[in-house]
Amino acid sequence: MSRALAQDGQYWQNGYQPGGMLTPGAVIASDNDSGFFYYNPALMALHPKTSVSASASVYQYRNLKMKSAVGKGLDLRGRSVRIVPQLVTGTILLNRKNGLTIGYSLVTQPQMNFHATQRQDKQMNVLDDRYSPGAEFYIGQYSVLNNATRTTASIAAAVRLSEHLSAGFMAQAHLRTQDFSESYSTRALINSDTDFLTQPVTAVQYNYELSYWHLGLQFKAGLAYEAGRHHFGLMLSSPLLRIRGRAILSSDLLISNLVQPDGGYTLNALANGRQTKLPVRYRMPLSIGLGYAFDYGRGQFFMAMEHFLKLNTYNIITPRNESFIRPDTGINNTATQELLQFSEERSSVTNIALGWSYILQKSMTLFATFSTDMTFVPDNRSDPTYRGQDPYLLSWNTYNLQLGGNFRRQRLHMRAGILLTYGRTTNYLQPVNFDTPNESNFLLGQPVRTAARYFSAGLMVSYVHNF
């Protein structure tokens, strides 16, 4: 079973980033007189007007595959095809003399929708031959679900400071929701002289489920400058400020008849807990964006970059030290936070975009853009000091391409084109490895690096109306 819709470990999701010419206003330096804002609000005052726009991914196909993710030939793979309305934006001109303009937008970005399961069922030499000689009947099962969506509501204002310079300010409310679960179970029948119906079983089972929402506030300030054929843009985005958030967390752990090879003792353990109304703190770092566009003849070339600062390790959700390990006496409860926390850290990232547009005729403009979407997920899950659940699945670099055109008729603009995203890695770390289970690794195997790839193709249409 599998399904996927993804881009959750990067900042520049295709369609809504400074390399996204298909989306009106998704630029830093020049909007080609569209009058819209999405990234840099200062652009509204350079060509002020009252307008409204709606954009949607009319068709979207996505494929996320982790090859041999839990063992040789045991892939985790998800495909999806869906239609997602994503952007409504508009501007209201208040004062033509100084270009004072108010803008608003509502954006929905499905960042991840992935569910996959995999299973191993075969005879393997899993347990020590000293007490279980020969190959055992072994069953390993793994399941992961990760659904994340961000909705952003923005209000902005811009004013012209001089004939060529404008400034803008934006406030954005971010609502992020995520449903995450991961579970695995491994079992091996211990070979013995007992009747087959009463043969003892070594088992390890684990399940972690989390659902949360988080509302945060972010501010952006921008400058835009035009000098003839040259266009410049500067944008600063604040860290995300927490307003409110709540989470529900539950987890279960069972270890039964697991003989420890070093100590010679048999391990049995039980842990179970559910916590509600947990506070949530989801962070976004400070970022700075720069843009430049150059007009030549009937065309325009533009480039943009945005640098995002790093985030040190922090807890998105910190559970309370309540009952989890049983019996819940002594010091057992002191480990609850460490075992169940939902944490992340982010590396610093710099993304770049290059684009080109050409006026084919008065009513038609063609354009193409390319942009990087570098992952901010550090490669530290194999580090023994790393703790907590990682909220991201797509932890490698991807690259975006847009090809399309703008079709104009009087006050109506229609933008349409294709969105392509691709990324591949050979450094994906398996969550479990059903090829190498034994007692020392709790029947979960020794994870190794393997290949993974992501591909997305979509058709986007934007409708623009100037009043």
Q: What is the dihedral of CA 37, 348, 5, 3, to 10 degrees?
A: -170
Residue that wins the pLDDT comparison between 283 and 113: 283
Q: What percent of the chain has pLDDT over 70?
A: 89
Mean pLDDT of the chain: 86
| C-alpha–C-alpha distance, residues 237 and 62, integer Å | 29
pLDDT of 386 > 60? The answer is no
Q: Find where tokens 């191993």 sit.
A: 120
Residue that wins the pLDDT comparison between 430 and 461: 430
Question: 24 and 13 in contact (C-beta within 8 Å)?
Answer: no
- Mean pLDDT over 34-49 rounds to 76
Instruction: Name the band, by pLDDT with cuts 50, 70 and 90, for residue 57.
Output: low
What pLDDT shows up at residue 56?
64
Phi, psi of 105 (to 5 degrees): -160, 155
Number of residues written out for the chain: 467
Question: 336 and 276 in contact (C-beta within 8 Å)?
Answer: no
Lowest mean per-residue pLDDT among 54-68, 379-393, 431-445: 379-393
Question: 322 and 275 in contact (C-beta within 8 Å)?
Answer: yes
| C-alpha–C-alpha distance, residues 313 and 429, integer Å | 20
Report how far apart the first and last C-alpha atoms of the chain are (Å, whole number). 49
pLDDT of 4 > 50? The answer is no
- Mean pLDDT over 107-118 rounds to 85
What pLDDT shows up at residue 196?
61
Please, what's the b/e burial string for 128-159 (b: 16 or more CB within 10 A of its CB; e: otherwise)? eeeebeeebbbbbbbbbbbbbbbbbebebbbb
pLDDT of 32 > 70? The answer is no
What pLDDT shows up at residue 40?
87
What pLDDT shows up at residue 170?
94
Lowest mean per-residue pLDDT among 85-89, 175-179, 305-309, 414-418: 85-89
Q: What value, to the nearest 5°, has the Cα angle with vertex 440 and ends 438 and 258?
A: 75
pTM: 0.90
What pLDDT shows up at residue 33?
54
Question: 105 and 89 in contact (C-beta within 8 Å)?
Answer: yes
* Helix (H/G/I), strand (E/B), else coil: 378: coil
What pLDDT shows up at residue 390?
62
Q: What is the dihedral of CA 32, 27, 37, 402, to 10 degrees?
A: 80
| C-alpha–C-alpha distance, residues 282 and 242, integer Å | 7
Q: Find where tokens 């566009």 sit.
A: 293
Dihedral sign, CA of 292, 235, 57, 365? Answer: negative
* Environment class of 458 (CB within 10 Å of its CB; exposed 0-12, middle 13-18, buried 19+): buried
pLDDT of 6 > 50? The answer is no
Per-residue pLDDT tens over the stretch 165-212: 999 999 999 999 999 999 999 999 998 776 666 788 999 999 999 999
| C-alpha–C-alpha distance, residues 234 and 386, integer Å | 37
Amino acid at residue number 190: I
| C-alpha–C-alpha distance, residues 183 and 151, integer Å | 28
Instruction: Name the band, by pLDDT with cuts 50, 70 and 90, for residue 5.
Output: very low
- Mean pLDDT over 110-139 rounds to 91
Instruction: Name the band, by pLDDT with cuts 50, 70 and 90, for residue 38.
Output: low
What pLDDT shows up at residue 338?
78
Q: What is the dihedral of CA 441, 443, 449, 455, to 10 degrees?
A: -140
Q: Are strands 342-346 and 398-409 parallel, antiparallel or unpaired?
A: unpaired
Question: 352 and 304 in contact (C-beta within 8 Å)?
Answer: yes
CA atoms within 13 A on the CB side of 340: 31
| C-alpha–C-alpha distance, residues 264 and 258, integer Å | 10
Per-residue pLDDT tens over the stretch 210-258: 999 999 999 999 999 999 899 999 999 999 999 999 999 999 999 999 9
Amino acid at residue number 86: Q
What pLDDT shows up at residue 1?
35
Instruction: Name the band, by pLDDT with cuts 50, 70 and 90, for residue 389.
Output: low
Question: 268 and 311 in contact (C-beta within 8 Å)?
Answer: no
Domain boundaries, the chain: 2-117+145-179+217-245+281-320+329-466
| C-alpha–C-alpha distance, residues 143 and 116, integer Å | 6
Domain 2-117+145-179+217-245+281-320+329-466 superfamily per CATH: Outer membrane protein transport protein (OMPP1/FadL/TodX) (2.40.160.60)
- Mean pLDDT over 415-427 rounds to 91
